[in-house]
Amino acid sequence: MRQETFPQSGPEIATVLELRDSSCARDLYIAAVSWLDLFTAIDEQPTRLSDLCIAFDLQERPARTMLRLFESWDLLVRSGEQYVVTPQARRYLSRRSDENVVSYIATMKYKSSVREMYEVLRKGQSDTWHVERTGTTSWDDLMQTDDFATLNTQGMEERGRIFAPSLAELLDCSTDRQLLDIGGGSGVYCAHLLKRFPSLEAIVIERSPVDELARACLTQRGLLGNRASVLAGDMFVDPFPESASLHLYSHVLHNWSPAKVQYLLNKSHQHLPAGGRVAVYSCHPDDRNGRPAPAKEAEYSVLLTASYEGLCYSVSDMEAMFAKAGFVDLSYRRSICNRSLLTASKPAS
């Protein structure tokens, strides 16, 4: 695997984003200490992820996110497939220690956000999005309503202004004629790629009402009908155009379950020409060689696990899913603010 590093931005924007992206991690920690007494249990008996899920009746996806978080905080360490408490966790978070502060932490267990994180661990899904007069708390359903979709697309546009220039530096499109920006939101990422590569064209595929917001944003940038178009469609249902040599998923796959991510990668492989490429831009903790995820990336994964169907898929996670879909030549490149770019190719023959 090739690895290249893009220069990091200044600390100010990283701090501003991390305050939002890490907002759920502390509640998950309190839930694990108070509702599960997790560190006492693992102090008494080191355990594997699968055994932990059985013992506490937890769902695999949020439990994996939880364990990765505590590894990144140096509260747990892996020994083979087993998780073991670290000395500081044994001293302060196990009831077997006379110095433990478990009850003090547990005084916050009935806070609504802590209880919600406990329910995410048990049920594998969140009840996060309480929007008045909608009748649903599903993010996926809410994204098909005008007000919620407008707010979220504007938010992703603002985030894209930070990350799209870095993506455009990292992703070489000099040999591509057309890009398919899948779930592309406002089109901010493909817009920056079009700016850098004058011979490139782009298609953004988005569901209603986001497709109309994408058209408006691309019109403001002078790209719609010129070098960019918007295709109204559901990426899980509608076929992809066969004309693009590059498929881009920017801050998309981390919203969805492993099964849905695999489905989309399989679908991209099916619709790309021989030699075509897929690019995934998101937060991918580098867990190769057994290293723990960086803390800020593990904290962001908690937010995604609590609020959506997905998580921050690690480099190893993505390697396995790319390979299963039939892609080869995986490349990993660091970006700004804990993000990274993964690219892979469909074999030329």
pLDDT in tens, 55-105: 999 999 999 999 999 999 999 999 889 999 999 999 999 999 999 999 999
User: Considering the domain boundaries, does residue 109 fall inside one?
Assistant: yes
C-alpha neighbours within 13 Å on the C-beta side of residue 38: 31
Query: In whole angstroms, what is the distance from residue 76 CA to residue 130 CA?
Result: 34
Write down which residue in 92, 126, 160 finishes a domain.
126
Chain-centre distance for alpha carbon 151 = 19
- pTM: predicted TM-score of the whole model, two decimal places: 0.86
Long-range contacts of 190-193 (CB under 8 A, 24+ apart): 190/228, 190/248, 191/164, 191/217, 191/218, 191/221, 191/223, 191/228, 192/164, 192/165, 192/167, 192/168, 193/164, 193/167, 193/168, 193/248
Cis before 209? omega within 30: yes
State residue 151's pLDDT score.
Answer: 63
Find the CATH number of the domain harbouring 240: 3.40.50.150
Is the domain of 168 the same as that of 110?
no
State residue 135's pLDDT score.
Answer: 53
Is the domain of 187 the same as that of 294?
yes
Question: Is the C-alpha dihedral spanning 86, 123, 281, 164 positive or negative?
Answer: negative
Task: List the domain range (segments joined by +) for residue 81.
Answer: 22-126
Is the domain of 210 the same as that of 105?
no
State residue 349's pLDDT score.
Answer: 75
Query: In whole angstroms, what is the distance from residue 223 CA to residue 293 CA?
Result: 39
Is the domain of 163 the same as that of 65?
no
User: Considering the domain boundaries, does residue 16 fall inside one?
Assistant: no
State residue 4's pLDDT score.
Answer: 39
Find the CATH number of the domain harbouring 35: 1.10.10.10
Q: What helix, strand, coil percent values describe the chain, rounded to 5?
A: 50, 15, 35
CB atoms within 10 A of CB 4: 10
Is the domain of 168 the same as that of 260?
yes
Count how many domains the chain has.
Answer: 2
Is the domain of 43 the same as that of 189?
no
User: Considering the domain boundaries, does residue 131 fall inside one?
Assistant: no
Q: How far is CA 255 from CA 51, 68, 80, 106, in A?
A: 26, 18, 29, 30
Taking only the tens place, the pLDDT of each residue in 301-332 is 999 999 889 999 999 999 999 999 999 999 99
Which residue spans within the chain are E strands per DSSP? 2-5, 47-48, 76-79, 82-85, 178-182, 201-206, 228-232, 246-250, 277-282, 328-334, 340-345
Q: What does the radius of gyration of the chain's CA atoms come to, in whole angstroms?
A: 21
Taking only the tens place, the pLDDT of each residue in 162-180 is 899 999 999 999 999 999 9
User: Considering the domain boundaries, does residue 135 fall inside one?
Assistant: no
Is the domain of 98 the same as that of 158?
no
Taking only the tens place, the pLDDT of each residue in 196-252 is 999 999 999 998 888 888 899 899 999 988 899 999 999 999 999 999 999 999 999
CB atoms within 10 A of CB 210: 24
User: Considering the domain boundaries, does residue 112 fall inside one?
Assistant: yes
Q: Answer whether residue 276 shows pLDDT above 90.
A: yes
C-alpha neighbours within 13 Å on the C-beta side of residue 276: 22
State residue 1's pLDDT score.
Answer: 53
Residue that has been written with the tokens 């546009």 in this structure: 157
Is the domain of 120 the same as that of 192?
no
Mean of pLDDT over the chain: 89
State residue 102's pLDDT score.
Answer: 96
Q: Answer whether residue 149 shows pLDDT above 70.
A: no
Pairing of strands 228-232, 246-250: unpaired
DSSP 319: H
Is the domain of 88 the same as that of 179?
no
